[in-house]
């Protein structure tokens, strides 16, 4: 059952998401193609993550379940950030912060060893990440929405974070399809599988954040306002 979910739903949906992300990356930002690619990315990612969560639950992998829950949050809030108009917040933002705080509490409990799991330190990382995200969400709610530039940067880094895990999941499936186990591979080979996709996506993400902050701030300063 788990393998069926992984290969018939999880992996194809993740592949579609990566293709959609590639299209959105090179499309004119804010144009129809960019928005459509973004919607395909969001829907495909959520399908992939729900399928991954179910598969992880079947094999009783708490770590994978938690990771799926975190990336669901970053994908959804990345979409929600640009979907809203300036000064607009509501129930969905409250639901998102409730979700990530719940994930953070679970991660903290696991990380503190209150429930026995392997590698508890990674759960403390996720607990800290959840707190970081919740602070940003509270700021968004308190101000009834972020400024244009803040919203775009929030959208970019959450998409980038989500893409890192999508790329890693895809490379993991490719390696396993060839009959190999990533955990048993030499460090130099593992670098090509894990390090290169991660560095490429992080570099692109940082490029856009720097570009928006220092070179295109004026261009994005009106994002979300009605066109006059």
Q: Check residue 2 and give its pLDDT.
A: 76
Size of the chain, expressed as the number of residues it contains: 228
Question: What average pLDDT is seen over the chain?
Answer: 87
Residue ranges of the chain whose pLDDT lies below 50 = 226-228
Q: What is the pLDDT at residue 227? A: 43
**Looking at residue 225, what is its pLDDT?**
57
Question: To 10 degrees, what angle do helices 32-58 and 148-177 make?
Answer: 50
CB 84 within 8 A of CB 224: yes
For residue range 181-194, list pLDDT tens digits in order: 777 777 777 777 77
Q: Is the pTM of this model over 0.85?
A: yes
Give the residue carrying structure tokens 């799926």: 68
Q: What angle do CA 39, 155, 173 make, to 5 degrees?
A: 65
* 35-73 tens-digit pLDDT: 999 999 999 999 999 999 999 999 888 888 999 999 999
């Amino acid at each position: 059952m788990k393998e069926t979910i992984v290969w018939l739903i999880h992996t194809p949906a993740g592949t579609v998401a990566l293709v959609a992300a590639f299209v959105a990356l090179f499309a004119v930002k804010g144009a129809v193609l960019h928005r459509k690619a973004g919607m395909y990315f969001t829907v495909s990612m959520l399908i992939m993550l729900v399928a991954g969560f179910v598969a992880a639950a079947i094999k009783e992998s708490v770590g994978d379940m938690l990771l799926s829950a975190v990336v669901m949050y970053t994908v959804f809030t990345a979409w929600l950030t640009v979907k809203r108009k300036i000064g607009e917040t509501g129930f969905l933002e409250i639901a998102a912060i409730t979700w990530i705080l719940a994930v953070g509490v679970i991660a903290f409990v696991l990380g503190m060893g209150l429930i026995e799991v392997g590698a508890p330190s990674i759960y403390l990382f996720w607990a800290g990440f959840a707190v970081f995200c919740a602070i940003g969400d509270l700021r968004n709610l308190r101000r009834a929405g972020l400024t244009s530039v803040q919203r775009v940067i929030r959208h970019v880094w959450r998409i980038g974070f989500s893409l890192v895990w999508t790329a890693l999941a895809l490379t993991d499936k490719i390696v396993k399809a060839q009959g190999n186990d990533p955990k048993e591979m030499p460090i130099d080979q593992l670098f090509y599988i894990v390090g290169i996709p991660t560095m490429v996506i992080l570099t692109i993400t940082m490029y856009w954040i720097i570009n928006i902050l220092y070179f295109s701030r004026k261009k994005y300063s009106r994002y979300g306002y009605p066109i006059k």
